[in-house]
Chain A
Amino acid sequence: MQVRDTMMDTDCVLKVENLCKSFGSTRVLFDISFSVKKGETKAFIGPSGTGKSTLLRCINQITEPDSGKVWLDGEEVTNSGPRINFFRQKMGMVFQNFNLFDHLTVQKNVEIALLKVRGMPQAEATKKATFELERVGLADKADCYPAQLSGGQAQRVSIARALAMDPDVMLFDEPTSALDPELTREVLEVIRMLSRQGMTMLIVTHEMRFALSVANEVLFMENGTIAERGTPDDIVNGPGFERMKKFIGKIEEYR
């Protein structure tokens, strides 16, 4: 029944059903379910250690969930065997620590998966990489190595690297947590631009104002569950959302 629902809902890019994950006796995710429509941006907020990053990693199976299912464009990502390598291309991931390939130039960082995974010819990969670097405003850094970049530039390269695979959804795992406010801004600008261009995105972030301004829905996670969820408008202007408001207030206090 659920299979048919997913298949019929053509608008739905990503669907997460009853996802559970424990590390040893620690329950990290418990019965997480939600679906993401095409072009939608969802922001995940909440205290540290509530499973936000684990949730993203379970979606592209970098961490294997204990139970539950993930669907991408109506196809099951969980239990997909070697086909997971195809699904991962379609779910671009951006990490807190950038994780650029340190031995490769910026250009090669964006090209390498096109060449090795897609088997794209070099000329085509070069063109694609240049296009993606232009998109994040870093075409002039193509020949630099990651060690020569600022944190903000490095993160934008890592976004370009993920975008090069033409993903259906982007997963941002605290993309600005390692950056100072100024560099945070330049990365958030890029993410905002992607949102405007209609990219489907899941963003784990501690940037509350950004989350409220860019997301279609904000999900507040606590103890491995989605405690509260709503549109930014409802959260800011409506009643309820006590826990989320308390949490946001606590964070904004020090800004």
Chain B
Amino acid sequence: MAEALIPILIDWLPYLMQGILLTIGLVAAALAIGFAIGLPMALGQIYGAKPVRYVIEVYVWFFRGLPLLVLLFLFYFGIFPALGLDFPALAIAIVVLGMRGAAYQSQIFRGAILSISEGQMTAARSLGMTRWQAIRSIILPQAMLIALPGWSNEYPIILTDTAVCYAIGVMELLTRTTQIVSQTYLTMPIYLACACVYIALNYAGMKCLNMLENKVMVPGFGHAST
């Protein structure tokens, strides 16, 4: 059985590999979009005018309040067609994962920014910095250091979430795995191989994030104090 399995797996490896790469791309794009939208959202929620804060709160409430599958269906079958946009499933998956990630990331950053003592802003202003200079040079760099461990949590969450995109036919890892199963009928071994790939991706990603953490941490933040 095992001897028969290996040639089959090797045969399907290139096909599976494409799915792995797509999954990695999906994770990277979703994290990047989540960061690019989530960080300004956190700033807006803390420093913004009341209407800005309100809009952000509604956004967060919406994207955190719906199951991922419901969001995917809503955008794939509803919102995008209604707007007359004929986007491929992959693009829609990136948008949904990214926008949903932004909702979560914004709250990670908000918590980090709020954890910085008021004295940091006061000291920066007392030196003649404008509010924006103080946010950019003093508050945000510290908030990033504080947020990093919590933010790292987003990686395995998004990675495992990408599997849900199977439902709208994105050709990612799980979709391709399922197709191989339906061709070979080797249900358990193939899904097991798929699980191993997820675990390996998870491990590799977390390793990278840990390395990043060790590289950027300074004494007084995290456990890097000497």
Give A residues with C-beta under 8 Å from B: 60, 62, 82, 85-86, 88-89, 91-93, 95, 97, 99-103, 112-113, 116-117, 144-148, 158, 161-162, 165
User: Which of A97, A103, A116, A158 counts the most chain B CB atoms within 10 A?
Assistant: A103
Known: A62-B125, A95-B119, A102-B220. 15 other contacts (CB 8 A): A88-B126, A89-B128, A92-B126, A93-B123, A95-B123, A97-B117, A101-B124, A103-B138, A103-B142, A113-B127, A116-B129, A117-B133, A148-B225, A148-B226, A165-B127
Does residue B137 face the partner (Cβ distance < 8 Å to A)? yes
B147 CB to nearest chain A CB (Å)? 12
Structural contact, A116 and B133, CB atoms closer than 8 A? yes
Chain B interface size, under 10 / 10 to 19 / 20 to 34 / 35 or more: 20 to 34
A-B contacts, CB under 8 A, total: 80
CB interface residues, B 49-69, toward A, < 8 Å: none
Structural contact, B128 and A147, CB atoms closer than 8 A? no
Given contacts A85-B128, A116-B129, A161-B127, contact A99 B220 (CB under 8 A): no
Contacts of B133 in A (CB 8 A): 116-117
Structural contact, A89 and B122, CB atoms closer than 8 A? no
Structural contact, A88 and B127, CB atoms closer than 8 A? yes
Does residue B209 face the partner (Cβ distance < 8 Å to A)? no
Structural contact, A162 and B127, CB atoms closer than 8 A? yes
Does residue B13 face the partner (Cβ distance < 8 Å to A)? no
Contacts of B145 in A (CB 8 A): 103
Q: Which of B123, B142, B218 contacts A99 (CB 8 A)?
A: B123
Structural contact, B141 and A103, CB atoms closer than 8 A? yes
Smallest CB gap from B137: residue in A? A116
> How distant is the Cα of A85 from the Cα of B221 in the complex, in angstroms?
30
Contacts of B119 in A (CB 8 A): 95, 97, 99
Q: Chain B contact residues: over half helix, strand or loop, or mixed?
A: helix
Given contacts A145-B219, A148-B219, contact A101 B138 (CB under 8 A): yes
> How distant is the Cα of A194 from the Cα of B33 in the complex, in angstroms?
52
Does residue B130 face the partner (Cβ distance < 8 Å to A)? yes
B115 CB to nearest chain A CB (Å)? 12
Contacts of A82 in B (CB 8 A): 130
Smallest CB gap from A115: residue in B? B137
Structural contact, A117 and B127, CB atoms closer than 8 A? yes
Does residue B120 face the partner (Cβ distance < 8 Å to A)? yes
Contacts of A85 in B (CB 8 A): 128-130
Contacts of B218 in A (CB 8 A): 102-103, 145, 147
Contacts of B219 in A (CB 8 A): 144-145, 147-148
Smallest CB gap from B126: residue in A? A93
Structural contact, A99 and B127, CB atoms closer than 8 A? no
Structural contact, A112 and B137, CB atoms closer than 8 A? yes
